[in-house]
Chain A
Amino acid sequence: MANVVVWAVWVVAAFACLGSGIAVVTFSNPFYSALSLIGNLASLAVLYLLLSAEFVAAAQVLVYAGAVMVMFLFVIGYLGSRADAPWAGGPSWQTVGAVLASAALFVEVIVVIGLKTSGRLSHQKPVDSVFGGPYDIGRLFLTDHLLAFEITSIVLLVAAVGGVVLGSHARETP
């Protein structure tokens, strides 16, 4: 019974994910695209919960769907109607080529997954309740992956300084 429920939740979340992903690409108004991306991120958080990655799911909702998307919506509101660039207004062979290229990429991914993983990825290892929680993530970050943790802080600092520099430069030269 629990198996069926997990599959049902997976199917709903996966189709929400696919639909909102396609909606992001096809909406002509960037505001609606950003709102669809919030739905995409929320359904991905559900999938992360199914994969027992609770901390990453919480971080996804807080950081992505919270902070990053608020910043996106703020900038889209600030730019107003100028944000509405023409939808694929280029030559149509460009659109056809782009669709063909991404379809070819998808077929390649599926073929590689089918060839390399058929039958070998069916036995999941069992996990305990600690797996994916804040304790596990914190222990890994401060022992095995301390360098990644510190470099992440430097990357965030550089990005903050870069954002301030870009903003102040734009104000000096009206």
Chain B
Amino acid sequence: MKGPDVVWYLALAGFLFCTGALGVLIRRSPLIVLLSLEIMLNGANLALIAFSRHYAQGDGQIFALTVMAVAASEVVVGLGLIVAIARKNLDLDVDKLSTLRG
């Protein structure tokens, strides 16, 4: 059973990463910024697992699992912040949330 080479997976991972970066840059809802961050993390995970399969060593999968745990923690803190912002009746818009400045 011979599937696509690791290069195809790397191209797909690069495209996913750039899609997530585009979402982080152009969207203004912090919820969708978080969702796009998840896409970026998953692109990186796909590259790690593709190299792990290519070199037949499990260390890349360990790294990917650690990235998953960090992503889960990031979502917890990010959603907590968004809920706290919404309870103060502020606009959920990353361009308007600038009160920390100065």
Contact = CB atoms under 8 A, between A and B. Distances in A.
A111 B16 CA distance: 16
Contacts of B42: 40-41, 44, 64
Nearest to B96: A85
Contact of A67 (B72, B74, B82, B95): B72
Interface residues of A, number: 92
Interface of A: 2-3, 6-7, 10, 14, 17-18, 21-22, 24-25, 30, 33-34, 37, 40-41, 44, 47-48, 50-53, 55-56, 59-60, 63-64, 67-68, 71-72, 75-76, 78-79, 82-90, 94-95, 97-99, 101-103, 105-106, 109-110, 113, 117, 121-122, 124-127, 131-132, 136-137, 140-141, 144-145, 148, 152, 155-156, 158-160, 162-163, 166-167, 169-171, 173-174
14 contacts: A17-B12, A24-B36, A24-B39, A51-B49, A55-B61, A72-B34, A79-B31, A86-B28, A113-B14, A131-B58, A140-B61, A166-B84, A170-B83, A170-B84
